[in-house]
Amino acid sequence: MHRVAISSTGLFTPPEVITNEELVAAYNQYAQLENAKHAQDIAAGSHTALVESNVEFIEKASGIQRRYVMEKSGVLDPHRMRPVFTPRPDTEISLMAEIGVKAAQAALDAAGKTAADVDSVICACANQQRAYPAMAVEIQTALGIQGYGFDMNVACSSATFGIEQAVNAVRTGSARAVLVISPEITSGHQAWIDRDCHFIFGDVCTAVLVERLDLAPAGSFEVLGTQLTTTFSNAIRNNHGFMSRSEDRDPDDRDQLFRQEGRKVFKEVCPMAAEHITGHLATLELQPAQVRRFWLHQANLSMNQLISRKILGRDATREEAPVILDEFANTASAGSIIAFHRHHADIQSGEVGVICSFGAGYSIGSVVVKRI
């Protein structure tokens, strides 16, 4: 069995930004148009008027201030309220594969590696643009990697679940190195017309290079252990899929986009995540006080504050549990990886950190690492 390391990470940041102020202005125009359209029914009590949003509500509810997106004009058009993407012919690389290649190349460059050093690609993300062929195989081929690739989806926990698959492949010797890529174009499944969640998501792509420790560059992070858990819940759900057409579903039906019971998720997931992390550390004979940094899933600031408080028995500092969601918003499976990517340079040799993501399923994945 080989010892395994995270050698590097890569980040692709989309070209456009939507601030909370822009988002609120667009949503409120949409709400006014809808309320005018249904004015008679609203007056008769048979239709519920839409309540306008505001910046203070968004920032208090989530801690989010802005988000990156691949395309903003459609999102901010009150008559459309979704991004404008141009279909690509099958002869061109797909949009998700394109940003996956960019993040992956950044990770390879950071580690001083090339495609010849990698044996596998795992495309692990919550939002995939097609059923098949696998995005991972498209990315693998575009990068010129020999070997194999596959897609996997465990919602917002996909990246950490993918890292465990990569760690196992490297540890057993079936691969020297694996790229775990998480292209999250969340704007395509975001319900921009729903006041309760129109602010939640942003687009991004991350890549993590997992390889044999003896092949990894100096300053890499040895993987001490991984741990996964799932339990079924309907509190976060998206029903869109290939069955929708046969069910004669309207693609604009509310359940064909992201939806959640936010309060229920908060109440149920926070203690689960804290117990998961504490339990995982215990299996490695580590105490929370021995952890230098917690790179947590970036869904909601209050969630992360409560989880870290339960783990440490006190409020965590921004250094102990860094936050990136104020800038990126919730980027599904990529959030904890962005936090790691942005906030690992100061970790010293021998110091320990935890990458943890949690989301629909429910699913929780954690990766405990030590700087070498």
**Which positions are annotated as active-site residues?**
156
How many distinct helices (H) and strands (E) make up the chain? 11, 13
Would you give the distance in Å from CA 92 to the centre of its chain?
25
The bridge status of strand 16-19 relative to strand 120-124 is unpaired
Rounded to whole angstroms, the Cα distance separating 100 from 94 reads: 10
Count CA atoms closer than 13 A to 131's CA, side-chain side.
Answer: 4
DSSP string, 191-251: -TT-TTTTTSB--EEEEEEEEEGGGSPTT-EEEEEEEEEE---SSEE---STHHHHTT--T
Residue 220: phi and psi, rounded to 5, are: -70, 175
Within 13 Å and on the Cβ side, how many CA atoms surround 11? 17
DSSP class of residue 68 equals E
Q: For residues 198 and 25, is the Cβ–Cβ distance under 8 A?
A: no
Among 364, 354, 357, 360, residue whose Cα is nearest residue 6: 354
